[in-house]
Structure 1
Amino acid sequence: MPQIELSTARGSLPALLARPSGDGPWPGVVLLHDAFGMTTQLRRHAEWLAAAGYRVLAPDLMSWAGRTRCLWSLFGSMRSRRGRVFEEIEAARSWLAGHPDGTGQVGVIGFCMGGGFALLVVPGGAFDVASVNYGVGVGTPDPYGTDFLAGACPVVGSYGGADRSLRGAAGRLAGSLGELGVAHDVKEYPDAGHSFMDAHVPSEVPGLVRLATRAMGPGYVPDAADDARARIVGFFAEHLRGPERSWP
């Protein structure tokens, strides 16, 4: 999977690129990593999205400094809803939207921390569709509330019912989107916990972080992960692909 360099106001931003087989044009998807960064699991997510027919770009949101400093900055930006991370997400979106082999349509998908940022960029009209997977609910105003989500693009969301860190998040998100009339598919998997779509390689996860993640509930749940991926692909097919051509 090749790495490219994106140009931003703050300098060069490395990003992984995955593309479907065959000829384009393809819709684009910005893939936002979790707090573990550019892991093997992130590459797996890029691969199944590319196999579904999307050009996938995954920016490294922690490339500019060490892990601790970057995470401190990222979660601060999540609370304030401003900062370099939003500039980097926009740089990735703009690159995909302007690619000569693209359709101009771009979605966003994120997991855990990345899911939180995917949720925060749902309003505003920049993206055509969003997939929020156990997206952390940090920010003011409440990112699950109707005030914040006004003007949101269509959203497909997946949460774990056994996720101790996000109790009730799926219901609040679905309720707000429904009240606003935003197309959505939000599902809670009763026996799944946090990060149930992520089968991380243990050596890529710091020990203390791994313990904290386990405290949030059960880890990877294959059946729930398969169902969530199928729902995402189906939802993206409806909202990210134009009717003028057929797709697999």
Structure 2
Amino acid sequence: MAAVTDNPLQNVTFPSNGGTAHGYLAVPASGSGPGIVVIQEWWGLTNHIADVTNRLAAEGFVALAPDLYGGRTTHDAGEAGELMQELPVQQAARDLAGAVDFLLAHESVTSQEGTERKVGAVGFCMGGGFVLVLAAQQGDKIGAAVPFYGVLKEDFPSFAGLTAPLLGHFGEQDEVAGPDAVRALAARIEAESGVRPEFHIYPAGHAFFNDENHLGTYDPEQAQVAWTRTLEFLRAHLA
């Protein structure tokens, strides 16, 4: 993980990949709930990701957004691309595994009655790609996975270990992860894991959920539809 710099959003540390990771943790007013790992876009641990984490906490989840860039953030697409390129996929997945274990051991995280404790994972763009990698890597520890327009800088590793139900949100006008690529990804996931993803394609572009609108593609109507589906899905499988 990159060296930590000042980021006011960092409010928690946890063991990860042989070191110490930082992140942003939000706990519901009730004091407990199912755990969710929230995985950043290529911009870093930004106010938008913190807001998503807070929104999940407001809906009753204990949400943790790991800081994969060690405190660095940007609003420049070129710099964001460089930060993403500097982040090895397998290293990031191991760092995220520390977040999973942190939530599983956290006193505020609950589980469904009579079941082993599991957490969910929600991620956006680069983070959406990492949701799929994490779910495959962590197997039964992940009880629900939700990638928003998930992409990686390289081909996805094997999905053979994936067991979690999958809900995905993608844009019809997304030049990064277009409908044909999404359908091919869904077919590959099912072939390798036996899990049939529920992938939705919206009349929108890439990053349509990000209300900071760095790419000019934010779509509040489609974002609300995707958010409602996400909450229903997480509640069905985790709460």
TM-score, with structure 1 as normaliser:
0.77
The code of the aligned residue for 1:155 comes to L
* Maintained 8 Å contact 1:170/1:187: no
The code of the aligned residue for 1:149 comes to F
1:136 aligns with 2:151: yes
- Mapped partners of 2:34, 2:221: distance in 1: 27
**SS of match in other structure, 1:219:** coil
**SS of match in other structure, 2:145:** strand
The code of the aligned residue for 2:56 comes to L
1:70-97 C-alpha deviation (Å, 9 max, x unpaired): 43321xx23xxx22x1221011110100
Structural mapping, 1:45-124, within 5 Å: 45-63=52-70, 70-74=83-87, 77-78=88-89, 82-83=90-91, 85-103=92-110, 104-124=117-137
**SS of match in other structure, 2:154:** coil
1:124-162 C-alpha deviation (Å, 9 max, x unpaired): 41311111011114434x56xxxx333421111000000
- Mapped partners of 1:111, 1:9: distance in 2: 22
- Mapped partners of 1:90, 1:60: distance in 2: 13
* Maintained 8 Å contact 1:129/1:154: yes
**SS of match in other structure, 1:122:** helix
Name the structure 1 match of 2:208. 196
Superposed CA RMSD in Å reads: 2.4
- Mapped partners of 1:100, 1:66: distance in 2: 30
Structural mapping, 1:1-248, within 5 Å: 3-24=11-32, 26-63=33-70, 70-74=83-87, 77-78=88-89, 82-83=90-91, 85-103=92-110, 104-124=117-137, 125=139, 126-140=141-155, 142=156, 148-152=158-162, 153-167=164-178, 168-178=180-190, 181-190=194-203, 192-200=204-212, 210=214, 214=215, 219-241=217-239
The code of the aligned residue for 2:184 comes to R
Q: Closer, same or farther in 2 for the Cα pair 1:177/1:7, shift >3 Å?
A: closer
How far the C-alpha of 1:36 sits from its partner, in A, is 0.8
The code of the aligned residue for 2:160 comes to A
* Maintained 8 Å contact 1:14/1:60: yes
TM-score, with structure 2 as normaliser:
0.80
**SS of match in other structure, 2:84:** helix
Question: Once the two structures are aligned, what percentage of the paired residues are identical?
Answer: 30
Q: How many residues align?
A: 214
